[in-house]
């Protein structure tokens, strides 16, 4: 499909960032909001993102001006009949998205593709709000969209091959890595990320607050650009808890939520936005000030509970990735993506220096299985080995990549 003009619905941080990614590819963009105040904030975000690219030498001042001119801010759908491709970037509320997709179905021409940037909601359910389910697709940009390279392209049950191809082609045109991901809760990258993030909290519960910096530094030294606890503070413990609860609801016991997370949310220790999470934060300068001493009170209570202390106090960064590796084999077993796409997607989406399959191959699949079986034998359901991992080991495979 030839794409001439696109639209982005929602001019929040994510929507305005997607708009900047679009104009970076030379596309004209209608950027829609419901109120002028929101639209003004969105255009201010556009200015800020473009200024950042100029500062980094990625654009000249003149190029930034030219690109911004490609955006037309609007408060209604009057011009949407001219649009070939729409990306919805509204809040993660099914009711909000239902209204938007019903409106898009009415205003857009019959061949227009309607994409949602949802990170968790069902593409099939959203598509059912329209009379063109074959032309609705998930297009999950990673934040910030104008910088991050990964776009997960998720077909719903009725999405056509041509629609998926058009979304992948658009991602490629924007200089992104477009990866087809079959529909499942949290899709690919966030699904695997959830296992690793939970495991970092289990490790912290075993080790105590003094290990916050140890865990983060070890993981940074190993393979990640930022530690899991610092990342949780950046994104917000309340957001993290909502995602963790959703994954537990969808996948069951292996995604069980570590007790420390709801305790922190209840204490309003949400991270950078409240000034305290795993770390203390200066909200004016956004600098970390050291480990939050109040965390020890929560962890001490958990130490005395029946659920804590099952894994002992030993820690190495590699151990946090065992659940992610196991989930990667479950993903391959379910054929959620092509195996060759899995590591590149995790590296592009999370900034990992190695993907989970490469890490598994480095450890050795037999050793990965042995470690999982040992932990599973201790009664920890989250370590139940994936059947496909067992089959790889039975076949004598040393690695995946």
pLDDT single digits (tens) 170-227 = 999 999 999 999 999 999 999 999 999 999 999 999 998 889 999 999 999 999 999 9
Q: Could you tell me which of 254, 394, 248 has the C-alpha nearest to residue 324?
A: 254
Question: Buried b / exposed e across 359-380, counting CB within 10 Å, b at 16+?
Answer: bbbebebeebbebbeebeeeeb
Q: What is the pLDDT of residue 286?
A: 76
Q: Which candidate in 16, 17, 45, 152 is catalytic?
A: 152
Which entry of 190, 200, 235, 292 is annotated as an active-site residue? 190
- Residue 76 phi/psi, 5-degree rounding, is -145, 180
User: Is the fold of 189-313 the same as that of 319-394?
Assistant: yes
* Closest to 129 (Cα-Cα) out of 95, 98, 88: 98
How many angstroms separate the CA atoms of 2 and 84, rounded? 8
Burial classification of residue 57, based on how many CB atoms lie within 10 Å of its CB (0-12 exposed, 13-18 middle, 19 or more buried)? exposed
Which pair of structure tokens corresponds to residue 258? 């570590």
Which CATH number applies to 319-394: 2.60.40.10, 3.20.20.150, 3.10.310.30, 1.10.1040.50? 1.10.1040.50
- CA 95, CA 92: separation in Å to the nearest integer? 9
Largest CA distance in the chain: 63
Instruction: Tokens for 230, please give them.
Output: 């610092």
Please indicate whether residue 182 is annotated as part of the active site.
Answer: no
- What does the pLDDT look like over 52-66, one tens digit per residue? 999 999 999 999 999
Cβ atoms within 10 Å of 173's Cβ, excluding its own = 14
119 as an active site residue: the answer is: yes
Q: Catalytic site residue 304?
A: no
Cα(345)–Cα(337) distance, rounded to whole angstroms? 10
Does 319 score more than 70 pLDDT?
A: yes
Q: Tens of pLDDT along 333-368?
A: 999 999 999 999 999 999 999 999 999 999 999 999
Nearest CA to 53 out of 93, 9, 21 is that of 21
Contact 37, 136 (CB under 8 A): no
Q: What mean pLDDT comes out for the span 267-274? A: 94
Structure tokens at 73: 């801010």
Q: For 189-313, which CATH class? A: mainly alpha
pLDDT of residue 103: 98
The predicted pLDDT at position 314 comes to 58
Please check whether residue 117 is in contact with residue 14, taking contact to mean a CB–CB distance below 8 angstroms: yes
Is the N-terminal amide bond of 193 cis, ω within 30° of 0? no
The predicted-structure confidence for 131-164, as pLDDT tens digits, reads as follows 999 999 999 999 999 999 999 999 999 999 999 9
Strands 279-282 and 287-291: antiparallel
CA 39-10-106 angle, 5° bins = 110
Evaluate whether 323 touches 313 at the Cβ level (below 8 Å): no
Query: What whole-number percentage of the chain has pLDDT above 70?
Result: 97
Q: Which CATH superfamily is domain 5-180 in?
A: NAD(P)-binding Rossmann-like Domain (3.40.50.720)
Tell me if residue 190 is catalytic: yes
Domain ranges (residues) in the chain: 5-180, 189-313, 319-394
Burial of 26 (0-12, 13-18, 19+ CB in 10 A): exposed
Active-site annotation holder among 33, 117, 122, 140: 140
Q: Which residue has the higher pLDDT, 289 or 241?
A: 241
DSSP bridge partners of 276:
271, 280
Q: From the candidates 119, 200, 247, 326, which is the catalytic residue?
A: 119
Average pLDDT, the chain: 94
Please determine, for residue 98, whether its predicted confidence score (pLDDT) is greater than 50: yes
If you average pLDDT over residues 318-326, what whole number do you get?
A: 96
Residue 372 has pLDDT above 60, yes or no: yes
Percent share of the chain, pLDDT over 90? 90
Decide: residue 381, CB within 10 A, 0-12 exposed, 13-18 middle, 19+ buried. exposed
């Amino acid at each position: 499909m030839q794409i001439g003009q696109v639209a982005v619905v929602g001019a929040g941080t994510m929507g305005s960032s997607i708009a900047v990614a679009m104009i970076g590819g030379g596309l004209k963009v209608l950027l829609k909001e419901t109120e002028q105040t929101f639209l003004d904030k969105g255009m201010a975000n556009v200015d800020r993102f473009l200024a950042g690219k100029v500062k980094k030498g990625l654009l000249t001042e003149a190029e930034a001006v030219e690109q911004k001119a490609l955006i037309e801010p609007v408060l209604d759908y009057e011009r949407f009949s001219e649009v070939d491709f729409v990306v919805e970037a509204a809040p993660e509320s099914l009711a909000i998205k239902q209204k938007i997709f019903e409106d898009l179905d009415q205003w857009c021409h019959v061949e227009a593709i309607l994409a949602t940037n949802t990170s968790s909601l069902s593409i099939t359910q959203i598509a059912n709000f329209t009379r063109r389910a074959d032309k609705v697709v998930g297009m999950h940009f990673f934040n910030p969209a104008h910088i991050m390279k990964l776009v997960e392209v998720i077909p719903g049950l009725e999405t056509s091959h041509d629609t998926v191809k058009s979304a992948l082609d658009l991602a490629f045109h924007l200089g992104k890595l477009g990866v087809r991901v079959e529909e499942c809760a949290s899709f690919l990258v966030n699904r695997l990320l959830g296992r690793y993030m939970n495991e970092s909290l289990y490790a912290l519960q075993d080790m105590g607050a003094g290990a916050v910096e140890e865990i983060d530094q070890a993981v940074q030294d190993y393979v990640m650009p930022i530690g899991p606890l610092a990342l949780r503070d950046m994104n917000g413990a309340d957001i993290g808890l909502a995602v963790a609860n959703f994954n537990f609801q969808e996948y069951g016991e292996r995604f069980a939520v570590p007790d420390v997370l709801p305790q922190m949310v209840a204490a309003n220790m949400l991270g950078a936005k409240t000034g305290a999470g795993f770390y203390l934060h200066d909200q004016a300068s956004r600098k970390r000030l050291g480990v939050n001493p109040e965390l020890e009170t929560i962890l001490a209570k958990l130490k005395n509970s029946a659920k804590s202390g099952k894994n002992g106090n030993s820690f190495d960064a590699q151990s946090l990735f065992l659940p992610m590796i196991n989930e990667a084999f479950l993903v391959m077993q379910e054929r959620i993506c092509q195996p060759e796409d899995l590591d590149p997607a995790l590296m592009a989406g999370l900034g990992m220096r190695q993907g989970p399959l490469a890490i598994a191959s480095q450890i050795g699949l037999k050793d990965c299985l042995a470690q999982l079986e040992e932990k599973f034998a201790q009664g920890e359901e989250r370590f139940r080995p994936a059947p496909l991992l067992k089959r790889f080991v039975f076949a004598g495979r040393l690695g995946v990549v």
